[in-house]
Amino acid sequence: MPRLLLSPAVITLLIWMVVPLALTIYFSSIFYNLMQPDVTGFAGWMNYEFMITNPAFTDAIWNTLVLLASTVAITVIGGLAIALLINEAFPGRGIVRLLLISPFFVMPTVNALLWKHMMMNPIYGVLAQIWTFFGLTPINWLQDLPLFSVILMISWQWLPFACLILMTSLQSMDREQLEAADMDGANYWQKFRYMYLPHLARPISVVIMIEVIFLLSVFAEIFTTTNGGPGTQSTNLAYLIFNEALQSFDIGVASAGAVFAIILANIVAIFLVRIIGKNLEK
């Protein structure tokens, strides 16, 4: 009986997951190009072969991983530093916290446009102004450092998230423990290493988990700023799949790309569970 009552929810979820997965696998195995409607039929591994032999593919995988790793590193380390910094009471802490958290409420597209036009424009952007002020040649960010620029935008957006989670967790740090460490003669770094870090291990794991889930499929920032370019310098897997499906109109190859994305996500997930899962079990 309990299973029967559960079944509507379980079945809905199953359909939700299985149908798109099945369709993706199905599309990846047939010739399905919107520009060549006459070419149909079973394609075997052809679509996968096209995808893998596409020189953009290895770039896309590499870019996806670089973007993921650097954004997670920047947000966790930066978020930790800021959270520790504003953990002590000071006048105006409430406002500072509010300001710190606000980037997370900005839509990804808006965030990308803000950075593209306001900050990184080589002529009137804020960064260009600063460079000129110091007598330097302004950097054409999106042209010369496309992947780095995207990483910068996404980090700006996700830093507050990491900061927020770690900040709330720091509030629950036991004060007497820190006092005991003081009496034991620990300096700030030793307290950081032996008190704060172990206390924050779990929230840090949560931050990494959630960020990985969202950052594997970054799209809006790339689409609005660099369009994956120049060349493939800022193309990640999500953007490559979009490119195949809605620029080349080859649904079959795009679906094969999607299957690779699923595999990549699973590989990352296995590593995550191995490394981080232990922390969450406690």
How far is 153 from 150, CA to CA, in rounded Å?
5
Q: Which window, 84-92, 128-136, 178-186, 203-211, contacts other proteins (CB under 8 A)?
A: 178-186
User: Which residues in the 145-174 window bind other proteins by CB under 8 A?
Assistant: 174
What values do phi and psi take at 26, rounded to 5? -60, -50
Nearer to other proteins, 20 or 198 (CB): 198
49 part of the interface to other proteins, by CB under 8 A: no
Stretch that binds other proteins, among 122-130, 134-142, 181-189, 255-263 (CB under 8 A): 181-189
- Binding residue count for other proteins, defined by CB under 8 A: 17
Q: 34-69: buried (b, 16+ CB within 10 Å) or exposed (e) per residue?
A: eeeeeeeeebeebbbebbeebebbebbbebbeebbe
DSSP 3-state of 75: helix
CB of 192 to other proteins, least distance (A): 13
Helix extents (H) in the chain = 2-28, 46-53, 55-85, 93-101, 108-113, 126-133, 141-144, 146-171, 175-183, 188-191, 197-215, 220-225, 237-246, 251-281
Site string for other proteins, 200-219 (x = CB under 8 A): -x------------------
Min CB(179)–other proteins separation in Å: 5
Q: Which of 40, 132, 190, 247 binds other proteins (CB under 8 A)?
A: 190
Give contact residues for other proteins (rule: CB under 8 A): 174, 176-177, 179-186, 190, 194-195, 198-199, 201
